[in-house]
Amino acid sequence: MPDKKLTPQEQRSQSLALRFVRPWINHCRLTQSAVASEVGVSAGTLSKWLSGKQAIRMSQFHELARVLGVSESDLLFPPPGAGSRPILGEVLALVASMSDAQREAWLAVGAQMAPAKQEDVSSP
């Protein structure tokens, strides 16, 4: 059965759904080529899945999770310790584009939004 050509909306949806596969591959200290080989596809096919250019079947997604030693639902979230990295990159890019005054105002708003720190309430 030939691979299904994805519409632009389907491409965005699939690449969004698979956005944490690369971090999982890195977390498992594997290469895309090694994972692709274990799944039984070419590295190019794996790359097309991850970019949303080629449809991935559920059986292939299951096999991908098996090769990485995680559940299918695990692949929908970042691996341990990797969750904040993409956000921090966005924050750094945003802050770098601001003037000093904008940066100070942004930090002040952020400080107001942050949860209040618990003060140490030690008994005498």
When pLDDT is cut at 50, 70 and 90, the band that residue 80 belongs to is: confident
Q: What is the pLDDT of residue 36?
A: 96
Decide if pLDDT at 85 tops 60.
no
CA distance 43 to 34: 8
Domain 8-76 has CATH 1.10.10.10: no
For residue range 6-18, list pLDDT tens digits in order: 788 887 777 777 8
CA distance 25 to 75: 10
For residue 81, CA distances in Å to 13, 26, 54, 111 come to 24, 12, 29, 24
Decide if pLDDT at 70 tops 90.
yes
Handedness of CA 92, 94, 99, 100 (dihedral sign): negative
Q: What is the pLDDT of residue 42?
A: 96
Residue type, 112: Q
Residue type, 100: D
The pTM for the full model equals: 0.60
Which of 42, 41, 30 has its CA nearest to residue 68?
30
Domain ranges across the chain: 8-76, 83-113
For residue range 26-69, list pLDDT tens digits in order: 989 999 999 999 999 999 999 999 888 888 889 999 999 999 99
